[in-house]
Amino acid sequence: MTEPPHRPDPRIHTDLAHLRSLSRAARALSFLPRQPARSALNGRHASRLRGRGLNFEELRNYQIGDDPRTIDWKVTARTGEPYVRVYTEERDRPALLLVDQRINMFFGTKRNMKSVTAAEAAALAAFRLRAQGDRVGGIIFSDSAVAELRPKASGLALNRLISTLAQANCALHAGLEVAESMPFNRPLEVASRIATTGNMILIFSDFAEVDDRTEKLVRRMAQHNDVILFPVTDHDGPPVLGGKRLVASDGSLQADLDMSDGVISARIEEFIDARLARAIGWTRKYGIPVLPLTSSRETLPQLQELLGLSGRRRR
């Protein structure tokens, strides 16, 4: 008899089969411009989605009820009769997903590794965006490589994105030696080169090594694209690590931390909160929506809550 294939612990690694299985669950999400009232992307909040672009369709005579803002004044002046410009919404638009799978994401204390939560959230978003008709691509980055997948409108391209994401996630392990970690700004620079205008850009990371250059790159992309940040942390509200010992590693050095020590626990919480606070600050400064995720909870319900879709069924 042949032994069944080994399946990784889904809390530590997420394989291709698991990511593909999220396709159906992704129906519970929406990234369309019209958002529920409770959605973090709703216009009543700090920011809203621009939506797809518009294609010019035709010029026609003005009809009662037409929006006066659509009047083409040059044609109207030339002909002596009011004309309006008619536009139709683009059927698709490019969506680019940046997913952090560096060694700093290989950390978790309660449910998942941060790398797993980021991969699951990105896969759910990718499936939903493709189902909405958008072209989907991604930038999957590890400590040693940046996989650049241009947005395309095909199931084959989507499968390649999901496969690349699963490979990067499963390549992480505690014994991984990292000579020099990938700078966070490098994949952002790649994204700014690809996504010049009219894109939706989703970034899934713990936002380690954020600096002034990071802020400049994110701000520049947000000027002509819809940028959504998904910072992934390992805690959810009040500290959950009290009374435990925590072994942390960066791939080469290892530290044994006594989390029952209030000073150590408080400093770690402050460090996490400060990193998140900088990203959240971009909402106030630039109108960039920030949807925080935690590896301590299941991924899909978090996204539903953030998008104001909790308890709703979507077909």
Residue 136 clears pLDDT 90, i.e. is over it? yes
Angle between helix axes 114-131 and 299-306 (nearest 10 degrees) is: 60
| pLDDT attached to residue 242 | 40
Residues in the chain: 315
| pLDDT attached to residue 178 | 82
State how far the Cα of 4 lies from the Cα of 18, in Å rounded to an integer: 16
Query: What is the set of domains in the chain, with CATH numbers?
Result: 16-45+93-306 (3.40.50.410), 54-89 (no CATH)
Mean model confidence pLDDT for the chain: 82
For residue 29, CA distances in Å to 10, 86, 132 come to 22, 31, 10
Query: For 258-292, how does the pLDDT look when each residue is reduced to its tens digit (9 = 90+)?
Result: 445 555 455 555 655 666 777 878 888 888 999 99
| pLDDT attached to residue 53 | 55
Element containing residue 117 per DSSP (H, E): helix 114-131
Q: Which of 21-35, 82-96, 124-138 has the lowest mean pLDDT?
A: 82-96
The predicted model gives 197-206 an average pLDDT of 93
Share of the chain above pLDDT 90, in %: 48
Q: Which of 50-59, 208-217, 246-255 has the lowest mean pLDDT?
A: 246-255
In the 8-state DSSP scheme, what is residue 295?
A: T
Say what the pTM is: 0.77
